[in-house]
Amino acid sequence: MVTSHDVARLAGVSQPTVSRALRDSPNVSAETKERVRRAARSLGYVISDSGRALASGRTRRVGLLVTDLENQFYPYVIAAMHRQLEALDHQLILHTEDRDGENVTERLFSHGLDGVLLATTTSDSALPVRLRDRGVPFVYFNRTSAVEADSATVDAAAGLGEVAGALADRGHRRVAAIFGPRNTSTGEEREEALREALEHHGIGLPRALTHRGPFDVETGHAGMQRFLALAEPPTAVVCSNDVVAIGAVNAAHEAGLAIPEQVSVVGFDDLPPARWPVFSLTTVAYDLTAMAQAAARLLIERIEAGDRPGTYRHEVFPTRLVHRRTLAAAPMS
């Protein structure tokens, strides 16, 4: 393995000069830089991550904390963050939380992360507190908790306001909702926004027309099944996100119900599968990629700025309802 010493020898300079030259330090003459760069290139020198990390105290690695890697939502998030971080010369380390969430922190730090992206924080999680106490920079993605930090989130209220309007316009009165978990800011926020928006159009959400569960396909499936078993099923189902909506569509399909003729379905996120013809999901859209990249960017900036409490940045992404084919007029009853 070729080291900075080898480069130094070839370039006729000292090792520290190599270090400085390659990082484009201002106190290295242009000609020396050039000589060093040539030497490095001709030797095929690549800096040692470990050496740099040990000396600088920065690993240039950040963690992404996610509960379920198989959830259809994350590939897009991971891909976007990965690209952004690569551009900023950082690496993304995936971390799945244990069931108990016990030794997450420990494992987090044993891996020497410069910071953490929290994508599935629950509002009762102790992790943000621990991170703050240990001075580890972190950023919320799509979720927040009581501990303040930089965040990239979505303006759910706007999108769900549109949803409620669209439903009302089309004569829906019996509307059901599948909510996310109570202990997530995303779940709570969307629930509150939807209730309020529907209320505004005089549409209530009785308990029987409400289902709650994790943001996954099974939740949507189970919720829709429950609704369809009702004596008076809803004419529309609003889902906490697209993955849930996919589950709901599946259940309707399984039950032989026509969408949107017999029941309308609305999602949230506008994931690529929402555009697949078999779903063609009417859904609340926003720029998920930009949001993921914003979270990554905020984290790196936070890392480089150092701890500066009270100056948190919250990027909120606008939403809009995308009309496809799962929302239609309420059927005559």
Partner DNA sequence: TCCCTGACTGTATGCGTATGCAGGAGCCGC
Partner DNA sequence: GCGGCTCCTGCATACGCATACAGTCAGGGA
Specify the residue, 132 or 253, whose C-beta has the smaller distance to its own copies.
253
At residue 65, the 3 state secondary structure works out as strand
Question: Least distance in Å: CB of 131 to DNA?
Answer: 19
The pattern of x and - marking residues 224 through 253 that bind its own copies according to CB under 8 A reads: ----------------------x--xxx-x
The angle, 0 to 180 degrees and rounded to 10, between the axes of the packed helices 156-169 and 185-200 is 40
Which burial class, exposed, middle or buried, applies to 37 when counting CB atoms under 10 A from its CB (0-12, 13-18, 19+)?
Answer: middle
Check binding of 49 to its own copies (CB under 8 A): yes
Q: Which of 5, 12, 23, 51 binds its own copies (CB under 8 A)?
A: 51
Specify the residue, 74 or 227, whose C-beta has the smaller distance to its own copies.
74
Choose among its own copies, DNA, none what residue 14 binds, the Cβ cut-off being 5 to 8 Å by kind: DNA
298/57 Cα distance (integer angstroms):
20
CA 212 to each of CA 30, 130, 217, 283: distance values in angstroms, whole numbers, following the listed order: 63, 29, 12, 19
Specify the residue, 90 or 221, whose C-beta has the smaller distance to DNA.
90
Cβ 141 vs Cβ 293: under 8 Å: no
Check binding of 29 to its own copies (CB under 8 A): no
Check binding of 272 to its own copies (CB under 8 A): yes
Check binding of 15 to its own copies (CB under 8 A): no
Choose among DNA, its own copies, none what residue 278 binds, the Cβ cut-off being 5 to 8 Å by kind: its own copies
Question: Least distance in Å: CB of 90 to DNA?
Answer: 14
Check binding of 258 to its own copies (CB under 8 A): no
Cβ 149 vs Cβ 136: under 8 Å: no
267/194 Cα distance (integer angstroms):
12
25 dihedral zone (left: phi>0; alpha: psi -120 to 50; beta) = beta
Q: Which of 20, 33, 35, 82 binds its own copies (CB under 8 A)?
A: 82
Pairing of strands 264-269, 236-239: parallel
Q: Phi then psi for 126, rounded to 5 degrees?
A: -90, -10
Question: Least distance in Å: CB of 52 to DNA?
Answer: 4
Question: According to CB under 8 A, which residues from 191 to 230 bind its own copies?
Answer: 217
Choose among its own copies, DNA, none what residue 173 binds, the Cβ cut-off being 5 to 8 Å by kind: none
Sites of contact with DNA (CB under 7 A): 1, 3-5, 12-17, 19-20, 22-23, 26-32, 45, 47-48, 50-52, 54-57
170/268 Cα distance (integer angstroms):
19
Check binding of 310 to its own copies (CB under 8 A): no
Check binding of 303 to its own copies (CB under 8 A): no
Cβ 262 vs Cβ 256: under 8 Å: no
Cβ 17 vs Cβ 8: under 8 Å: yes
251/80 Cα distance (integer angstroms):
31
Q: Phi then psi for 33, rounded to 5 degrees?
A: -55, -50
Q: Phi then psi for 163, rounded to 5 degrees?
A: -60, -50
290/153 Cα distance (integer angstroms):
11
Q: Comparing C-alpha atoms, which of 278, 176, 273, 168 is closest to residue 224?
A: 176
Q: Which of 276, 314, 320, 323 binds its own copies (CB under 8 A)?
A: 276
Choose among its own copies, DNA, none what residue 125 binds, the Cβ cut-off being 5 to 8 Å by kind: none
Choose among DNA, its own copies, none what residue 12 binds, the Cβ cut-off being 5 to 8 Å by kind: DNA
Q: Which of 15, 22, 37, 83 binds its own copies (CB under 8 A)?
A: 83
Question: Least distance in Å: CB of 57 to its own copies?
Answer: 9
Residue ranges binding its own copies (CB under 8 A): 44, 46-51, 53-54, 59, 69-72, 74-76, 78-79, 82-83, 86, 91-94, 96, 106, 109-112, 217, 246, 249-251, 253-254, 272, 276-279
